[in-house]
């Protein structure tokens, strides 16, 4: 026979409403009562019906994860981080991939928020950086947290987790400069991602602060994909040797892996003849040969913290409005001293 909330209330010696407040992780319940109810839940092996709770209650307990990103590793890390916080705090997760460039994206998201009765949204780039999307969500008073590129918390930042991509790019470029590289190329990601701009800014800053020239033809436009890395590296390696870079900073690990693949096809030894570094420290960086030097970006932890901020706001719990993560280099085998 299935255990009900009535059984838990009777076992714990409390009201049904109190059991509901404990299972919903409401902050106003005394710890002694929480312990008593949790002991009853464990003893009876009670499984709350979260779907029924959402339908019957006035509050929603579903968090939406909205993304437009071709990198499966990034999406999985974000998903796992959000899911971890949702489980800990009694919420469910709705995953919604979409096309950020669609003309109907604002209507799509606002309709989804209303129909799914979402408690809040976790927005990732480029959606989290799109003023039109944010305005549409604000007009329906949607609760959301943004994961964005940035190095400063400002008054209008709002609920957000910032990733200091510029710092990471400065650090990884400086690593190559310290190895003696002077002609360094940059393989870009999608231009509508703020992280692309921040990483390029960091690259340029490191070069100029070391009095090294930044040649526009060494900054190759592209997308956050393996194929883009292949094409970008092929373009660089097709030049006369005197015009070739001795090192490449790729905007993410997928691009870097593509660049490494193209170099192998051209018979270029990594890192003896060409150093290649990436960004994000995704599984791509550990699955290549040689393993990629990269910048560690803890995407799962970033998503987890973002979700905690979102739910805390939903519960009117005093918490930080924004948090900054600072990515740092991870030195592996794809970078070495510049050859003479």
* CB neighbourhood size of 270 (10 A): 21
Whether the Cβ atoms of residue 293 and residue 175 lie closer than 8 Å to each other: yes
Class of residue 34 by CB neighbours under 10 A (exposed 0-12, middle 13-18, buried 19+): middle
**What is the pLDDT averaged over residues 269-289?**
93
Give the confidence band of 55 by pLDDT, cuts at 50, 70, 90: very low
* Residue 68 phi, psi (nearest 5): -140, 95
Q: Dihedral sign, CA of 198, 245, 230, 273?
A: negative
Question: Tokens at residue 131, please?
Answer: 């003023």
Query: Cα(67)–Cα(45) distance, rounded to whole angstroms?
Result: 36
Q: In degrees, to the nearest 5, what angle opens at C-alpha 328 toward C-alphas 273 and 291?
A: 40
Whether the Cβ atoms of residue 186 and residue 203 lie closer than 8 Å to each other: yes
Question: Tokens at residue 222, please?
Answer: 């592209």
Query: Cα(269)–Cα(264) distance, rounded to whole angstroms?
Result: 7
Higher pLDDT, 212 or 24: 212
The CATH number of domain 165-296 is 3.40.50.2300:
yes
CATH topology match: 62-163+298-326 vs 165-296: yes
Strands of the sheet with 219-220, listed across from one edge = 219-220, 184-187, 247-250, 275-277
pLDDT at 54: 46
The closest of 117, 136, 118 to 127, measured between CA atoms, is 136
* Secondary structure (3-state) at 95: strand
* Interstrand relation of 328-330 and 294-296 (parallel, antiparallel or unpaired): antiparallel
Whether the Cβ atoms of residue 19 and residue 5 lie closer than 8 Å to each other: yes
DSSP element (H, E) containing 250: strand 247-250
Give the confidence band of 52 by pLDDT, cuts at 50, 70, 90: very low
Question: At the top level of CATH, which class does the domain 62-163+298-326 belong to?
Answer: alpha beta
pTM of the model: 0.79
User: What are the structural domain ranges in the chain?
Assistant: 5-48, 62-163+298-326, 165-296
* Interstrand relation of 184-187 and 144-149 (parallel, antiparallel or unpaired): unpaired
Q: Match domain 5-48 to its CATH number in 1.10.260.40, 2.40.50.140, 3.90.320.10, 1.10.1280.10.
A: 1.10.260.40
Query: Cα(173)–Cα(190) distance, rounded to whole angstroms?
Result: 20
Whether the Cβ atoms of residue 252 and residue 71 lie closer than 8 Å to each other: yes
pLDDT at 330: 96
pLDDT in tens, 191-238: 888 999 999 999 999 999 999 999 999 999 999 999 999 999 999 999
Give the confidence band of 63 by pLDDT, cuts at 50, 70, 90: very high
Rg, Å, the chain Cα set = 24
pLDDT in tens, 144-188: 999 999 988 877 778 899 999 999 999 999 999 999 999 999 999
């Amino acid at each position: 026979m299935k255990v009900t909330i009535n059984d838990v209330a009777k076992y714990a010696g409390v009201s049904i409403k109190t059991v509901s407040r404990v299972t919903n992780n409401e902050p106003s319940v005394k710890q002694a009562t929480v312990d008593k109810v949790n002991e009853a839940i464990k003893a009876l092996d009670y499984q709350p019906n979260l779907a029924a709770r959402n339908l019957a209650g006035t509050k929603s307990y579903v968090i939406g994860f909205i993304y437009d990103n071709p990198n499966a590793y990034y999406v999985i890390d974000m998903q796992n981080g959000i899911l971890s916080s949702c489980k800990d705090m009694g919420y469910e997760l709705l995953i919604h991939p979409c096309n950020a460039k669609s003309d109907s994206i604002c209507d799509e998201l606002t309709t989804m928020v209303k129909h799914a009765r979402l408690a809040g949204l976790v927005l990732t780039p480029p959606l989290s950086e799109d003023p039109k999307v944010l305005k549409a969500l604000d007009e329906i008073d949607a609760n959301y947290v943004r994961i964005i590129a940035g190095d400063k918390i400002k008054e209008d930042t709002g609920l957000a987790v910032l990733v200091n991509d510029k710092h990471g790019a400065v650090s990884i470029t400086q690593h190559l400069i310290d190895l003696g590289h002077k002609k360094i190329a940059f393989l870009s990601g999608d231009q509508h991602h703020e992280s692309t701009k921040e990483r390029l800014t960091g690259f340029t800053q490191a070069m100029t602060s070391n009095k090294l020239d930044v040649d526009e033809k060494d900054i190759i436009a592209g997308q956050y994909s393996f194929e883009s890395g292949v094409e970008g590296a092929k373009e660089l390696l097709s030049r006369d040797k005197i015009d070739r870079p001795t090192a490449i900073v790729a905007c993410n690990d997928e691009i870097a892996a593509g660049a490494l693949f193209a170099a192998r096809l051209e018979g270029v030894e990594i890192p003896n003849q060409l150093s290649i570094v990436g960004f994000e420290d995704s599984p791509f960086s550990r699955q290549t040969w040689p393993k990629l030097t990269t910048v560690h970006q803890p995407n799962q932890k970033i998503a987890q913290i973002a979700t905690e901020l979102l739910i805390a706001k939903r519960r009117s719990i005093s918490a930080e409005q924004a948090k900054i993560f600072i990515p740092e280099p991870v030195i592996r085998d794809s970078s070495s001293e510049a050859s003479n």
